[in-house]
Amino acid sequence: MDQVPPSLAPRSPVFRDRFRRSRSAPQMAPWYRIVPFSQDPKELFMPEKGVRPIPASVKEMLLAPPPTVASLGEAAKNKLVEVLCHIDRMYVKVSKELFSTRDAFKDLKLGKCPVNEGTSENYYLLYLLKNDCGFKRESTDDYLFISIVLHYKPTTPVIREMPFDVVLQCKYPRHFHSFHPGISIELRRGTVYKPLRSKHAYVIIPQDASGNEIGGDKTFILGQPMYFEVKRADNISTNKRLYINKCFMTALQDPYSEPKYTVIDNQGCMIDSKVTRQSAFLKGHLNVQKFSVSAFIFKDTAASSSSPQLYLHCEFSMGDPTPTSSSKACNYHQATKKWKELHGNDSVCTCCESSCLSLSKASGNMVSSPSWKVSFRGKDGNPDFELKPKSAVWGTSSFEDLKDHRDFLSYWE
CA-CA distance, 95 to 385, in Å (whole number)?
Answer: 11
CA-CA distance, 141 to 42, in Å (whole number)?
Answer: 14
CA-CA distance, 410 to 144, in Å (whole number)?
Answer: 26
CA-CA distance, 214 to 222, in Å (whole number)?
Answer: 18
CA-CA distance, 334 to 95, in Å (whole number)?
Answer: 19
pLDDT > 70 in the chain, percent:
66
Taking the domain 191-375, which CATH number applies? Answer: 2.60.40.4100
73-187+381-396 and 191-375 in the same fold: yes
Q: Which residues make beta-bridge pairs with 317? A: 243
Maximum distance among all alpha carbons in the chain? 128
Which one, of 278, 408, 284, 255, lies nearest residue 342 by Cα?
284
What residue ranges do the domains of the chain occupy? 73-187+381-396, 191-375
List the single range of 54-63, 155-164, 196-205 with lowest mean pLDDT: 196-205
CA-CA distance, 363 to 279, in Å (whole number)?
Answer: 23
pTM over 0.85: no
Q: What is the mean pLDDT of residues 177-203?
A: 50
Helix (H, G, I), strand (E, B) or coil at 271: helix
Q: Which residues make beta-bridge pairs with 118? A: 123
Q: What is the mean pLDDT of residues 39-66?
A: 75
Which CATH class, in words, describes the domain spanning 73-187+381-396? Answer: mainly beta
More confident residue, 86 or 408: 86
Q: DSSP alpha helices (H): ranges in 50-164?
A: 56-63, 72-75
- R_g of the chain, CA atoms, integer Å: 32
Which one, of 309, 326, 280, lies nearest residue 370 by Cα?
309
Which one, of 75, 76, 115, lies nearest residue 99 by Cα?
115
Q: What is the mean pLDDT of residues 268-295?
A: 92
The vertex-378 CA angle with 376 and 384, nearest 5°, equals 105
Provide the pLDDT for residue 142: 80
Q: What is the mean pLDDT of residues 315-332?
A: 92
Q: What is the mean pLDDT of residues 133-158?
A: 90
What would the pLDDT profile of 335-384 be if each residue is shown by its tens digit? 899 999 999 899 999 999 999 988 655 545 567 776 766 665 544 444 34
More confident residue, 152 or 160: 152
Provide the pLDDT for residue 373: 65
